[in-house]
């Protein structure tokens, strides 16, 4: 579970997040929606610790991020998986090497075991015959699958996705959405997705927060009305 309390973030004079509070529950697909420039990505990067929040508190399983030691933060990061908007695959590595990368970095497992676990993750996202290919040689949808495989290979407790559907055709977007939801339920992880795709919201959103101009505009109650309207 991730608890966010009165999160504020400014860049110079510009206040991007104006006190957002929410809870992301375990085993659920939590969605952050809003227009471009509403502060979704900054919000996600603050939760990940890539941006330092100007004010407010973020807690992982009731442990505030600000009170964690460097080592605790490092361990927490190994418990997170992230799917970036542009997939962020390492372009000098093959698909298999990309997925193996977190395990090579943080485990002492023998290379055969690492390869085996990477292939389990690759199979889980239904990627076939792509192991030896470079990211530039596969489609956008396949790149997203590789990014998901890399994110889940360490069996994380938290999965973050920034616009996982961006740049994909509607059919592939639905496949990616469903894949993320299945993985969330299968691994019982806390998944947080940034999206502006309303189909995603309708399909997989179990908890939705709506950001507008850096403020949370819609909570759980409104969410139901919102869904009824749709």
Partner 1 sequence: MIKLLEHIGRYFIMLQKTFGKFTKSSVLKKLVVREIDDLIIGSLGIVAFISFFVGGVVAIQTAINSDNPLLPKYLVGYATRQSIILEFAPTFISIIMAGKVGSFITSSIGTMRVTEQIDALEVMGVNTYNYLIFPKIAAMTLYPFIIVISMFLGIFGGYIACITGGFSAHADFVEGLQLDFNAFHVTYAFIKTFLFAMLLATIPSYHGYFMKGGALGVGKASTTSFVWTSVAIILMNSFVTNFLLT
Residue closer to partner 1, measured from CB, 73 or 220: 73
Q: HSE on the CB side for 141, CA within 13 Å?
A: 15
Nearest partner of 159 among 95, 204, 111, judged by Cα: 204
Q: By C-beta, is 80 or 204 nearer to partner 1?
A: 80
| In the complex, least distance from residue 221 CB atom to partner 1, rounded to whole angstroms | 33
CA angle 95, 194, 17 (to 5 degrees): 130
Pairing, β 55-60 against β 63-64: antiparallel
Separation between Cα atoms, residue 219 and residue 23, nearest integer Å: 11
Instruction: Tell me the closest approach of the beta carbon of residue 11 to partner 1, in angstroms.
Output: 12
**Residue 46, CA distances (Å) to 16, 26, 65, 83, 141 in order:** 11, 19, 10, 15, 27
Provide the minimum distance between the beta carbon of 171 and partner 1 in the complex, in angstroms, as a whole number: 25
Name the residue nearer to partner 1 (CB basis): 22 or 87: 87
CB of 91 to partner 1, least distance (A): 8
Handedness of CA 173, 180, 4, 66 (dihedral sign): negative
The binding site for partner 1 (CB under 8 A) comprises 45, 48, 50, 73-78, 80, 82, 84-86, 88-91, 101-102, 104-106, 160
CB of 227 to partner 1, least distance (A): 31
Between 163 and 208, name the residue whose CB sits nearer to partner 1: 163
The residue among 76 and 208 lying less far from partner 1, judged by its C-beta, is 76
Q: CA 218, CA 61: separation in Å to the nearest integer?
A: 24
């Amino acid at each position: 579970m991730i608890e966010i309390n009165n999160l504020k973030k400014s860049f110079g004079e510009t206040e991007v997040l104006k006190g957002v509070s929410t809870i992301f529950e375990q085993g659920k697909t939590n969605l952050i929606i809003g227009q471009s420039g509403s502060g979704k990505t900054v919000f996600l990067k603050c939760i990940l610790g890539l941006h330092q929040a100007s004010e407010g508190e973020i807690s992982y399983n009731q442990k505030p991020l600000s009170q964690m030691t460097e080592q605790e933060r490092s361990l927490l990061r190994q418990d997170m998986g992230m799917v970036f908007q542009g997939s962020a695959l390492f372009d000098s590595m093959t698909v298999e090497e990309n997925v193996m990368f977190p395990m090579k970095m943080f485990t002492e497992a023998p290379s055969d075991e690492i390869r085996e676990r990477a292939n389990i993750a690759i199979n889980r996202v239904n990627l076939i015959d792509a192991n030896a290919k470079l990211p530039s040689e596969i489609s956008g949808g396949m790149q997203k699958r590789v990014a998901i495989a890399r994110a889940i290979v360490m069996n994380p407790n938290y999965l973050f996705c920034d616009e996982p559907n961006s740049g994909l055709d509607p059919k592939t977007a639905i496949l990616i959405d469903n894949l993320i939801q299945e993985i969330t339920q299968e691994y019982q992880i806390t998944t947080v997705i940034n999206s502006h795709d309303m189909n995603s919201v309708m399909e997989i959103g179990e908890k939705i927060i709506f950001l507008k101009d850096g403020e949370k505009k819609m909570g759980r109650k409104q969410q139901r009305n919102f869904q009824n309207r749709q």
